[in-house]
Amino acid sequence: MKIANSLIMVVLAMAGLQLQGCAGEDHESLTTWMQKERESIKPNVKPIPEPTKFEPYQYSSESLLEPFSKEKLASILKSGQATTRQSALIEAELNRRQEPLEAFPLDTMSMVGTMQRKDGLVALLKVGTLLYQVRQGQYLGQNYGRVIAISENELRLREIAQDAAGEWIERPAALQLQEDNSK
């Protein structure tokens, strides 16, 4: 134990001597050298250029038609850019009153059943939380979809949509009877 205590005392004495060696007048020469070096170094920073003035673009579209409006379609038909077959397809759709179910996309509708009425089979469509009765000849969906047939497990319709070339084409679509799995 005495040896360990004496060893600790020797180490502490040596550390104290080293610290005392750092104190003295040698620091003065070091501080003067540091001061000279600071003064001799000059930063070479280029000034920041003045920012360019932002001038907003004034966009006024009051005189233009909206690109996806029915008026735009009617103007194309009147100008003769559409073919006769295409104009016959879409012209009748533009001139009729829209039905409530044409405000919803087909993928938000689900067929949940059918009912037999005096005038024929009626499909029951669920949109959100509401239930609608749909008969043959009614319109639904956002692509001018007209119901052409209703069976007990399927509602078939014909849609009019634009293809990749911008031409109006007829295409078939269907809604299948959906089973309720929430029970």
Given this model, what pLDDT does residue 33 score? Answer: 87
Q: How far apart are CA 182 and CA 150, in angstroms?
A: 25
Q: Can you give the pLDDT at residue 124?
A: 94
> What does the pLDDT read at residue 126?
93
Q: What does each of the 183 residues of the chain score in pLDDT, given as a tens digit? A: 677 777 788 788 777 767 665 565 567 887 888 888 888 888 788 888 999 998 887 767 767 767 677 777 676 666 655 555 556 778 878 888 999 999 999 999 999 999 999 888 999 999 999 999 999 999 999 999 999 999 999 999 999 988 777 778 899 999 999 876 655
Residue 13 CB neighbour total at 10 angstroms:
10
Residues 115 and 71 in one domain: no
Is 144 a domain residue? yes
**Do residues 114 and 168 share a domain?**
yes
Same structural domain for residues 126 and 147? yes
pLDDT at 1: 67
Spatial separation of the C-alpha atoms in residues 174 and 54, rounded to whole Å: 53
- pLDDT score for 112: 93
Which of 96, 111, 140 lies at the terminal end of a domain, its last residue? 96
Residue 42 resides in a domain: no
pLDDT given for residue 81 in this prediction: 53
For residue 88, give its domain range: 67-96
Provide the 8-state DSSP code for 141: T
155, containing H or E segment: strand 154-162
- C-alpha 85: how far from chain center: 36
Residue 8 lies in a domain: no
In this prediction, residue 69 carries a pLDDT of 72
Closest by alpha carbon to 72, among 64, 84, 80? 64
Predicted local distance difference test score (pLDDT) of residue 79: 63
What is the tally of structural domains in the chain?
A: 2
Q: What is the pLDDT of residue 131?
A: 94
Q: Which two tokens stand for residue 96?
A: 């009729």
Global model pTM greater than 0.95: no
